Amino acid sequence: MPTDPSTAAITRLRGEFSSPSMEAGFLHDQSGTILRYLRRALLLCSLFYLMFGINDIVVLGLPAAVGPMLARLFTPALAFTLWRHVRRAADPVRAAYRAAGIFTTYWLASFLVVTWHRPADVLMHAMSIVLIVLVIHIFIPNRSLYALAIAAGGSLAFTLLSWVQHAETTRHLASMTMLILFANVFGALAGNRYSRLWRKQYRAQQVLTNLSIRDPLTGCYNRRHLNAALLDGEIARARRYRLSLSLIMCDLDGFKAINDTTATRPATNCCAPSPRCCNR
C-alpha cells in the first residue's frame, strides 16, 4: 500500500483504486463488510424471488407453473451453495465477487424462463427487470464492470424476448425498452458513485491513520506505531518461536540543524513499506 494514501487515485469508470496495492488493501480491510452484504443480498433476493412464485401458480395454474417454479426453487439452493463456497475460499472477497456474478446471471436467466411462460404479463415483468437491475448495481456487492455487463446482458435478452413474443403493442414495447435502458444507465451511475464514495471514505481513514503513526517531516514511523504494531508483535513472535529479540536505540545529536535544513525542501520518505526497516 502506498505510504501516502492521499495520492491514491480512484478510476472514474471502474470505481476502484488505480493502485493495485491500495485496492488490495481496501478489499482486505472491508472483506467483513463485503461478505455481510453478500450474505444479506443472497438471502433476501432468494426469499422474495421465491415468494413471487405464488403469482405464477395463480396465473398459470399448478401444472403449467412447474417450469417457472423449478427455475425459482433452484435460486435459494444456488445461493446456499455459493455462500458455502465463499466461506471456505482462501480469498473470500474474490470468491464473493465470483459468487455474485454467478447468482445474478442465473437470476436473470431464470426470470427469462418465467417471462417465456407468461408473455401476456410482459409489462409487469419489465417492472421486475428494472428492480432486478437496480439490485444488481447497488445491493449485491460486485465489481462495477461485472455488474454492468450482467445487468445489461440480461436486460438485452429480456427485451429481445419481449419483442419476439410481441404480446403488447409496439408503442408499449418501445416505452418498456426505454424504461429498461434508463434503469441500466442510472443503476450503473449509482453503483459507480457508491463504489467511489466507499473508497474515498476508506482513503480518508487511511490518511488519518498514516498521520497518527508517521513523523510528518521524515515520514518515518513514530513511537505509537512501534509500540502498537511492531514491538508487541515482535515480542509475541519471539516468544512463540523461542527466538532472541534485540532492540537497538540511537540518538541523533544536533537534530535541530537537520530539521532546519530539511524543512526547506520536500520531505522524503525514509521508511520502507515494511515496519521492520527504517534507514536514512
pLDDT given for residue 259 in this prediction: 67
Q: In whole angstroms, what is the distance from residue 22 CA to residue 3 CA?
A: 10
Quick one: which of 131, 113, 107, 143 has its CA closest to 184? 131
pLDDT given for residue 271 in this prediction: 43
Quick one: which of 120, 192, 200 has its CA closest to 151? 192
pLDDT given for residue 101 in this prediction: 96
- The list of the chain residues with pLDDT below 70 reads 1-4, 229, 258-259, 262-280
Q: How many CA atoms lie within 13 A of 107 on its CB side?
A: 30
pLDDT given for residue 44 in this prediction: 95
pLDDT given for residue 274 in this prediction: 44
Residues 236, 110: one domain?
no
Q: In whole angstroms, what is the distance from residue 163 CA to residue 165 CA?
A: 5
* Structural domain count of the chain: 2
Residues 238, 139: one domain?
no
Residues 142, 253: one domain?
no
Residues 275, 155: one domain?
no
Grid coordinates of 16? 476502484
pLDDT given for residue 3 in this prediction: 54
pLDDT given for residue 278 in this prediction: 42
Domain boundary among 154, 184, 209: 209
pTM of the model: 0.79
Residues 6+ apart with CB under 8 A from 2: 8, 19, 21, 22
Q: Which region, left, alpha or beta, applies to residue 61 given φ > 0 means left and ψ of -120 to 50 means alpha?
A: left
